[in-house]
Amino acid sequence: MQQQRIDRTYYRAMVAMCLAVILLSLTTAANAADNPATPPKNRYFTLTVENDLFGGGTDRHYTNGVRLGWFDAGEKPPGVAKNVTEFMPFFSINETTSVAYSLGHNLYTPQAVESPIQDPKDRPWAAFLYGSIAMVTATQNHIDHYEATLGVVGPMALGEQVQKTWHKLIDSTSPRGWDNQIKNEPGLILSLERSWPEALGQPFHDTLLSLTPHAGFSVGNIYTYANAGGTIKYSPLSNRYTDKAPGVRPAIPGTGYFSRKSDMNWELFAGLDARAVARNIFLDGNTFADSYSVDKRPLVADTSIGMAITWGSTRLSYNLVRRSKEFYGQENADVFGGVSLGYNF
């Protein structure tokens, strides 16, 4: 019964979101028709929500992530961020350099959320509250994406309050194990990724099937890993230069950029990201204090598939992700979904 109530709440929320997007898109399209000479803006706001309920219908492991993103195409980075790039031989500043900001919150729990006792064979309870600044530069045939993230894990990240409030709202099982969460610790992640847009492409009349490989690394006490993979996209030629919505790390990063059109546009995509993981605080536990932990697997892969619809200044996308087992003793891979709503100002 509780799972059915969760499902009903989820579907009602999705219907409400879709109706809001349609109304907003109709208004935007009408305004665009009334003012055809109005130039498109280059500022993008994106709300991304990832939840295992949107995919496998579970409530475990990486159970929720929320990210608010602001991408300002063509806006130069602030002085401090720009100075950091002088020590990065793989990143350059030019006329295409843009800046992005984000705020986010992640929740991680073991499978038995109703138990006050930590299962030593399951992952520890954890939350991550963070903010980040990113710079994006196009150079010749590739795009570089640099991101610096600062945040906190532990009780200060407010994971207990957020999850208990949400479960109370949807009349679900109250999580009782937050006393076992990893302890307070400041967090830092420095990430650099390079992608090669349309390294391979095949046009079909007015559509394009393309492959964009990527490779990169992240270092810090939250995550340390090297990753590589690629994204296949199929879309109309008029929609070829769109970028994926910002995901929650360790997902493939995106800016949320899309072309503003008065009519409807669409895209289908599938991706793979493989990681060699040296550090994951949500599995390894605290860096400088004793906490619960599990033996993580050194190799993890995400496979994903999804679609996006753009109408006027609004884009709605859905991404279904399968994440391979992250620690020894984990019975099954995790499946979660992500819903992103973007708006071009």
Beta bridge partners of 237: none
The answer to whether 94 and 54 are in contact (CB under 8 A) is no
Q: Name the more confident of 324 and 17.
A: 324
* List of domains in the chain: 2-344 (2.40.128.140)
pLDDT digits (tens, 9 = 90+) for 87-97: 666 777 788 88
Residue 325 and residue 309: Cα distance in Å, rounded?
31
Q: Name the more confident of 246 and 291.
A: 291
The answer to whether 111 and 294 are in contact (CB under 8 A) is no
pLDDT digits (tens, 9 = 90+) for 302-322: 999 999 999 989 999 999 999
* Segment among 10-19, 241-250, 264-273 with least mean pLDDT: 10-19
| Residue 278, pLDDT above cutoff 80 | yes
pLDDT digits (tens, 9 = 90+) for 137-150: 988 889 999 999 99
Beta bridge partners of 300: 275
| Residue 227, pLDDT above cutoff 70 | yes
| Residue 37, pLDDT above cutoff 50 | no
Beta-strand ranges (E) seen in 198-255 are 200-204, 207-220, 223-236
Average pLDDT over residues 240-261: 84
Average pLDDT over residues 27-37: 42
| Residue 191, pLDDT above cutoff 50 | yes
User: Phi and psi at residue 160, in whole multiples of 5°?
Assistant: -60, -45
The answer to whether 271 and 304 are in contact (CB under 8 A) is yes
State the amino acid at position 159 in one-letter form.
G
Helix and strand element counts for the chain (H, E): 4, 13
Token representation of residue 161: 């309050």
Q: What is the structure's pLDDT at 115?
A: 92
For 15-40, give one letter per residue: b (16+ CB within 10 A) or e: eeeeeebeebbeebbeebeeeeeeee
Q: Name the more confident of 180 and 86.
A: 180
Within 10 A of 304 (CB to CB), how many other CB atoms are there? 23
| Residue 1, pLDDT above cutoff 80 | no
Q: What is the pTM of this model?
A: 0.85
Q: Name the more confident of 60 and 46.
A: 46
